[in-house]
């Protein structure tokens, strides 16, 4: 489909600078865009591409200062990144998706399936499962007994959801994720063996949660592992048993939370951040990539870095010293040699 710059600006309530009748039929990165495409600029690192891009239309922030001539038609909006995301969502909504039950799937007679649901080939849906309306379950998915899946949720290929787990409305679970596997519970015995502790709880995902590909969320030993509304977990993240993740917290790839830790709302964690068990993280905390959080953080909106993690401004000061460590060691050795030489001369 083609859209004019004016149509896009009207939808976004933006201001046009340039030709309102120019048409686009695709989207692209600003540095790779070709004529007929729409791009956006929000990261200052890419500012120079605005003056060289071949894109026909570019979304920019309303406060952006244009320094020289631009060939593309510009649409000024309060937040170019959010506006571009809105356009992508609109394009996605225009796509058509399969509905109905494919013949090779297996669905228990006691399962309740809502309206306008798609179940792909080789999917398995167990006893007493409840699936809401407009749900899409892609091929080779396993849905265990007594699972509940809310309206509008999407379960991509190869996902495994163990028994008794609960998914809210409009959740998205990407390929290969495992929801509700046993928590890592083993009691050491006198003979150095380990006795497995039964994991009889479940996992609860509230509304609008998105789980990345090959992520794992363990069921609780007792009670529930809870992922609150709006949480976004990246690929290959791991959430251990009895963890609670607060609303609208986001976590990048390969991060892991050990058992019984409580994460606040509106937190942001970079890739490979690790959390010790049985700690509490306050609302709004941010952790840089590869941080190791070994103890509770009680101060809201704190930014931490390092392993063990501590306040980022203190870490950065420490890192300046760390980078100079070889030079400092050399200076100390030179001083030691000078002192030895002075003592030798005194004798």
Catalytic site positions = 241
- Coil, strand or helix: which one is 98? coil
Please say whether the beta carbons of 218 and 237 come within 8 A. Answer: no
* CB neighbours of residue 181 within 10 Å: 16
Residue that has been written with the tokens 């006893």 in this structure: 127
The two tokens of residue 301 are: 């909106």
With 0-12 / 13-18 / 19 or more C-beta atoms within 10 angstroms meaning exposed / middle / buried, residue 275 is buried
Closest CA to 250 of 271, 232, 274, 276: 232
d(CA 179, CA 106): 20
Instruction: Write out the two tokens for 253.
Output: 């790839």
Q: Helix, strand or coil for residue 87?
A: helix
Give the position of tokens 């995301």: 85
Q: Where are the alpha helices (DSSP H) in 270-324?
A: 312-323
Neighbouring CB atoms inside 10 A of 79's CB total 14
d(CA 53, CA 97): 34
Question: Between the CA of residue 259 and those of 60, 91, 203, 239, what are the distances in Å?
Answer: 44, 40, 13, 8
Radius of gyration of the chain (CA): 27
Three-state SS annotation for 181-194: ECCCCEEECCCCCE
DSSP H/E element including 340:
helix 325-346
């Amino acid at each position: 489909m083609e859209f004019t710059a004016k149509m896009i600006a009207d939808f976004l309530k933006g201001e046009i600078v340039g030709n309102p009748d120019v048409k686009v039929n695709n989207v692209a990165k600003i540095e790779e865009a070709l004529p007929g495409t729409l791009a956006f600029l929000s990261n200052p690192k890419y500012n120079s591409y605005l003056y060289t891009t071949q894109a026909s239309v570019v979304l920019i922030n309303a406060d952006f200062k244009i320094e020289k001539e631009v060939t593309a038609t510009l649409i000024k909006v309060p937040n170019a990144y959010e506006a571009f995301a809105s356009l992508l969502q609109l394009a996605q909504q225009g796509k058509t998706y399969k509905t109905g039950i494919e013949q090779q799937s297996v669905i228990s007679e006691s399962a309740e399936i809502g309206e306008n649901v798609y179940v792909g080939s080789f999917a398995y849906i167990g006893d007493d499962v409840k699936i809401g309306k407009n749900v899409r379950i892609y091929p080779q998915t396993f849905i265990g007994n007594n699972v509940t899946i809310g309206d509008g949720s999407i379960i991509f290929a190869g996902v495994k959801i163990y028994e008794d787990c609960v998914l809210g409305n409009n959740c998205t679970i990407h390929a290969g994720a495992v929801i509700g596997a046993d928590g890592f519970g083993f009691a050491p015995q006198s003979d150095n063996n380990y006795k497995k502790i039964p994991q009889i709880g479940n996992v609860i995902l509230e509304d609008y949660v998105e789980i990345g590909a090959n992520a794992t969320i363990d069921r609780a030993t007792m009670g529930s592992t809870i992922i609150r509304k709006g949480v976004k977990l990246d690929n290959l993240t791991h959430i251990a048993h009895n963890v609670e993740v607060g609303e609208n917290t986001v976590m990048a790839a390969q991060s892991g939370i050990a058992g019984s830790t409580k994460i606040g709302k509106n937190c942001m964690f970079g890739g490979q951040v690790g959390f010790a068990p049985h700690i509490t993280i306050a609302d709004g905390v941010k952790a840089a990539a590869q941080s190791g959080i070994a103890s509770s953080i009680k101060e809201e909106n704190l930014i931490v870095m390092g392993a063990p993690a501590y306040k980022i401004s203190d870490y950065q000061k420490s890192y300046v010293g760390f980078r100079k460590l070889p030079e400092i060691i050399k200076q100390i050795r030179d001083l030691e040699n000078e002192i030895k030489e002075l003592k030798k001369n005194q004798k």
